[in-house]
Chain A
Amino acid sequence: MRSPRPDLLGELREHPFLRGMDPGFLKAIEGATQERSFGTGDLVIREGEAAKEMLLVQHGKIGLELVAPDRPRLSLLTVGPGEIVGWSWLIPPHLWLSDGRALKPTRILAIDGATLRAALEDRPKDAYQFMLRLVPVISRRLQIARIQVMDIHGV
């Protein structure tokens, strides 16, 4: 027996990042959306690989990690339910800039990047609303990175 198909449109509508977006826009990207699940320790994204999808976290936790030669793997940020993984799918050359690893059982919605970019190009008003959601995420993560660089807990 097949399990019932998830209500992806409903999930897109309720995800905090997309909440309040125009229903027509959400309908336009619904068909390009898939759900995906990961176990603890699974790699969700890998630095340097093609960022083909926008990833919305529904459940669980993803650690964004940097790997450099001769250095231990470093986790710099965790993202959880209601957050997005990144924006490399939007910006050429569409390559992930870090690894992302599930730190607990995790479920995401993956929206095809090409479809999403096309929808944003076709619908400038929706694209503006989308950017009003995305830019604060970028700004917050920049601020977090600045504070991490300051090493405020150091002596």
Chain B
Amino acid sequence: MGSETAAPPGSHEGGASPWAPTPYRVVERAQETADTATLALEPVEPAPPPGFVPGQFHMLYAPDIGEAAISISGATSDPRRRVHTIRSAGRVTDALTKARVGDVVGVRGPYGRGWPLREAEGKDLLLVVGGLGLPPLRPVLYEVLAHRDRFRRVEIAYGARTPKDLVYYDEIQAWRTRKDLRFQVTVDRAGVDWYGDVGIVSQRIPDMRFDPSSAVAFLCGPEIMMRGSAQALVDRGMSRSSVYVSMERNMKCGFGQCGHCQFGPFLLCRDGPVLPYASVERYFALREL
């Protein structure tokens, strides 16, 4: 997510206001690509942070600049650490990506509804991912790998702009060597040093191995990519209600009060960001949204 808001009222005051961020310290930082960094945060205070489910997001506050909605991209199993992968796309996210180990940022949340992982148990699980859609799905992958026997086939198709825009590169290489999942990577364009697939990620769907009558798909990425991928999955026989998408709009409050992230009848920060494709398909086609 890259939607940004102005600094929240009361953001320097602490306390119980839902607008007040909790201070977290940057404990680790990794530069993923030229404009994208991963920050691991831990609360400054000893009290453990609230738990989260894969697919939820935090409002991250860059001191004196403002807030941005950023998906949680780390494992749910770590009681204190909260990991976020952020692309510099504006003043707030630019400041966040430049935060150094030891810096303090503000955190509100977690917010939103996550991926319905329980629904995928006993079924084939498909993850179709574009660009920075991978961070919100990485916690899903961690959960799946921690409880691999609960799922049948696991297929991932990940598309990025160029090979240089792939995040979690080393982790992906490790996932690609595993026998208990299939991780396909494609890029929109490449130079001669790339021997992988080139095209768009939805092209990989005809090649994915799954039982359409018993599969669940999680899609995250640019809206046009999710539309095309959802249709390709439906064309392969999947039910629209078994396909879930993570929607992105301009999140500001994070808890369904301000209305900035309205998408049709949904307030995405509260009702989403993860929604069944069957619920949002008709709104995808509305240009006004």
Residues of A within 8 A of B (CB): 40, 61, 63, 65, 72-78, 80, 101, 103-104, 140, 143-144, 147-148, 150-155
Contacts and interface: CB of A to CB of B under 8 A. Distances in A.
B161 A40 contact: no
A147 B200 contact: yes
Contact of B161 (A73, A144, A154): A154
30 contacts: A40-B195, A63-B190, A73-B191, A73-B192, A74-B190, A75-B189, A75-B190, A75-B191, A75-B198, A76-B189, A76-B198, A77-B198, A77-B199, A78-B198, A80-B197, A103-B195, A103-B196, A104-B195, A147-B224, A147-B225, A150-B224, A152-B188, A152-B225, A153-B132, A153-B159, A153-B165, A153-B188, A154-B161, A155-B87, A155-B89
B110 interface: no
Interface residues of B, number: 30
A75 B194 contact: yes
B160 interface: yes
B250 interface: no
Contacts of A104: 195
B203 A152 contact: no
Nearest to A103: B195
Nearest to A64: B198
Contact of B200 (A80, A101, A144): A144
B167 to A, nearest CB: 11
A63 to B, nearest CB: 6
- Nearest 7 CB-CB pairings of A with B: A153-B131, A153-B161, A152-B222, A75-B190, A78-B198, A103-B195, A75-B198
Given A77-B198, A152-B222, A65 B35 contact: no
A75 B192 contact: yes
A148 B189 contact: yes
The CB with the most chain B CB atoms within 10 A, among A140, A151, A155, is that of A155
Contacts of B112: none
A148 B188 contact: yes
B209 to A, nearest CB: 14
B122 interface: no
B130 interface: yes
A119 B161 CA distance: 41
A84 to B, nearest CB: 14
B228 interface: yes
B191 A153 contact: no
Nearest to A16: B206
Contacts of A154: 161
A154 B160 CA distance: 10
B200 A148 contact: yes
Contacts of A151: 161, 188
Contacts of B199: 77-78, 144
Contacts of A63: 190, 198
Given A63-B198, A80-B207, A155-B89, 11 more contacts: A61-B195, A61-B197, A74-B189, A74-B191, A80-B197, A101-B192, A103-B196, A140-B203, A147-B225, A153-B161, A153-B188
Listed residue (A77, A80, A152) with the most chain B CB atoms within 10 angstroms of its CB: A152
Contacts of A153: 130-132, 159-161, 165, 188, 221-222
Given A72-B191, A147-B228, A148-B189, A155 B130 contact: no
Contacts of B195: 40, 61, 103-104
Contacts of B197: 61, 78, 80
A13 B75 CA distance: 49
A104 B199 CA distance: 17
B8 to A, nearest CB: 24
Nearest to B186: A78
